[in-house]
Amino acid sequence: MTLQEKFNELEQKNSALLATNFYNFETVTGILQAVKTLGMPIILQASPSTIDYLGVNMTVALARSSLEKHEVEGWLHLDHAHSFSLIQQCLDAGFDSVMIDASEKSFEENVEITSKVTELAKNYGANVEAELGYVAKLGQAQQKEDGFTKPEEAKKFEEQTGINALAVAIGSAHGFYTSEPKLDLDRLQEIDNVTECALVLHGGSGIPKNQVQEGIRRGIRKINVATEIKDIFMSTLQADLRDNDEIDLRKVFPPAIHKVDELVQSKLMIIKSLHN
């Protein structure tokens, strides 16, 4: 099943996919252990920095062989790409889905850049996500309402670009929150009423469960989580290594992998428990 088909299915069921960023063998393993335990599908996503680190072919090989090993349903997505050539490389290497992030450009430029990507992606049958409005990046202050996605612009943007998925700015931000976020759920509903594409919630780390669930009820089909995965993995590792002189690195990673597994299970349960 393509990711576009999966989004259509989720639209009928009023449900969503969790999209987790992975960085190495250990994080992808923790994520997929959770996915396997709960029998749910997943989007594995890699950012340009992860691709810089692993290389594009290694990223694809690691994701694909891990999905096969754990026998779970999943798709590989490129998160926040700004460069057309990286998108082309990823599509050639076998990514199922790409995000073109031209959210810092004007509406017209965003349409132009995104349209080039949707044209290209047609040749691969790939899913395309774009961003309209602005979701604050790591370390930036949370966006004020004037940066939020406007429903009428979202409708025009979708019509003009032919995207499959749209990251909406409704009060979430990448990284940890300094105070509890409050999603603009009415705005989300209005965007969903006038668009057909799958709506994406970026900055999923730290958003309270009830807001994520209400977001799904109002049209969110993909929930991105990255920061909490990095944080739990590294803090577990740091604590374990503090008084530890183990040099067999295969013995050092499993507790951190286990913590990622637990975290991802808790995120998947937010989706699963909506329908129970």
What residues act catalytically? 79
Q: How far is the CB of 2 from ligand 13P (least distance, A)?
A: 21
Judged by beta carbon, residue 70 or residue 174, the one nearer ligand 13P is 174
- Interface positions with ligand 13P (CB under 6 A): 21, 79-80, 174-175, 202-205, 224-227
Token pair in block for residue 114? 């995104």
CB neighbourhood size of 32 (10 A): 25
For 121-133, letters b (16+ CB in 10 Å) and e give: beebebbbbbbbb
CA distances from 111 to 31, 70, 87, 161 (A): 34, 39, 16, 6
Q: What are phi and psi of 106, to 5 degrees?
A: -70, 165
Q: How far is the CB of 205 from ligand 13P (least distance, A)?
A: 3
Judged by beta carbon, residue 32 or residue 78, the one nearer ligand 13P is 78
DSSP codes, 175-203 = S--SS-----HHHHHHHHHH--SEEEE--
Q: How far is the CB of 242 from ligand 13P (least distance, A)?
A: 26
Separation of alpha carbons 210 and 212, rounded Å:
6
Contact partners, residue 239, CB within 8 Å, separation at least 6? none
Q: How far is the CB of 232 from ligand 13P (least distance, A)?
A: 12
Judged by beta carbon, residue 72 or residue 225, the one nearer ligand 13P is 225
Judged by beta carbon, residue 53 or residue 246, the one nearer ligand 13P is 53
